[in-house]
Amino acid sequence: MATAIMLRTYGSPDVLVPETVEVGQPAANELRIRQTAIGVNFHDVYVRTGLYKTLALPGIPGIEGAGVVEQVGPGTEGFAPGDRVAYITRQYGAYASERLLPVHLAVKLPADVSEELAASNFLKALTAEVLVNRVHAVAAGQFVLVHAAAGGVGKLLVQWASRKGAIVIGTAGSAEKAAIAKAAGCAHAINYREEDFAARVREITNGQGVHVAYDAVGRDTFDGSLECLRARGHLVNYGQASGPIPPFDISRLMPRSNSLTRPSVFNYAAEPALYREMAANVFAAFSDGTLSRETGQAFALAAAADAHRALESRERATSIILKP
């Protein structure tokens, strides 16, 4: 038997209540995982509130975790009991002390990457890897705009893009968060509550604009992000923290031959070979210092409601993980 957070209805964090569940034996091409650290993401909040109705209820939320292989399904190759693994999944089920996991989702952890480090960062770091290497290949000397630069993905984007030699301009919602963005590698950090970020970007780039703008904020920053682009600049919208973007007239891209993309890391991770290549790049980035080795604030699995409250408060600058 295992402990899991079974979501039975949408609502406040109080709906996240632990229950005892039966896990069962792994089938062919499955692993039974004893989870030691579970990532908590805003995606989980959107599922809990019903904004995303992508988890059939009742169901166990959570899209990433790390732990130790306990059992290997019959005929399953490449893994053995005792292997440490991490994963991301769109099939949910991470908020549990043990789980069954399709073998293609599991990635072995190198010795220098702890389960806590992986659960705190794997999804976010994979997202950053996709954004700087695949959606737009960031190059030395390029101007890069990163919104929410002190946030989970934002900070990793800043670190990775600056290591590539880009001139990173970050935005944040307070002086404290602007300082975090600057420490992460931003050449310029803008407190968007006190400055017009689009005007400031134009000033920093001598009126040329940025080569790429990474925007996870959505509605509140979309028009300004588009204004920040130079000729042939690329706007990458990968989230909607402030709400969805209203219907968009594509002809607005024409005057400067701009491009717009809305990527999802899961579409890249769906290809097993590419998923493992991305994971290898992430682990190498932690090993060589490209990405900082920050682990998240830990809550007990049974205190998942408190973890969600902490995440929604937006007062912390670290990731959040659950510990079974």
The model's pTM is 0.94
pLDDT digits (tens, 9 = 90+) for 208-223: 999 999 999 988 899 9
Asked whether residue 316 carries a pLDDT value surpassing 70, the answer given is no
**C-alpha to C-alpha distance for 250 and 264, rounded to whole angstroms:** 20
**Token pair listed for 97:** 């002390």
Asked whether residue 315 carries a pLDDT value surpassing 80, the answer given is no
Question: Sorting pLDDT into bands at 50, 70 and 90, what band is 240?
Answer: confident
Mean pLDDT of 164-175: 96
Alpha-carbon separation of residue 83 from 5, 77, 106, 149, 208 (angstroms): 25, 12, 10, 34, 50
Task: Give the pLDDT score at 314.
Answer: 66
**C-alpha to C-alpha distance for 192 and 205, rounded to whole angstroms:** 17
pLDDT digits (tens, 9 = 90+) for 127-169: 999 999 999 999 999 999 999 999 999 999 999 999 999 999 9
Mean pLDDT of 307-318: 82
- Which is more confidently placed, 218 or 235? 235
